[in-house]
Amino acid sequence: MKGSYVLIIKVPSEQAIKIGGLNTMHFPAGYYAYVGSAMGGLKSRLSHHLRASKKPHWHIDYLLQQSAISSIILCEAKERAECTIAQALSHQFDSIPGFGCSDCRCKSHLFFSTKEMKTTIMKTFNLLSLAPKWVIRKEGLVK
């Protein structure tokens, strides 16, 4: 199963985190939505993100060392939709410039809100004619 996904992440308290080549970034307490794609398979990509112990590879890996995924929204697709999703979310939420978008022309693939983001993201998927599936994270397993 290939497609795109949004990790909804809760950062419980303000933090400064070293993010690979981006250097140290400031993350206020709140909710973050990271948009990614898994054209090699959603199961393996999401398993990577959910793994507690891993060598950081992507920008998101550094943030996940200091925070927790609260839920995942995904959609199956044969074509990449991550940039379309990211562009749509950029109109809904504040973005973290340069995060997660080193291989495209987007300004960001990470978005921030002080309030829960899931409902807005699900509506955005529907408006983009993507069929969202909400996945709840429980003890490291995707259900």
Query: Edge-to-edge strand order for the sheet containing 30-38?
Result: 94-95, 110-113, 30-38, 3-11, 68-76, 133-138, 141-142
Residue 70 tokens read as 């609260």
Domain ranges of the chain: 3-142
User: How does pLDDT run along the chain (143 residues), one tens digit per residue?
Assistant: 899 999 999 999 999 988 887 788 899 999 999 999 999 888 888 888 888 777 887 888 889 988 889 999 999 988 889 999 999 999 999 999 888 888 888 899 999 999 999 999 999 999 999 999 888 765 543 43
Strand partners, 8: 33, 71
Strands (E), the chain: 3-11, 15-18, 24-27, 30-38, 68-76, 94-95, 110-113, 133-138, 141-142
Strand partners, 30: 11
Question: How high is the pLDDT of residue 87?
Answer: 95
Q: How far is CA 41 from CA 2, 46, 56, 77, in A?
A: 5, 9, 19, 10
For residue 22, the one-letter residue type is L
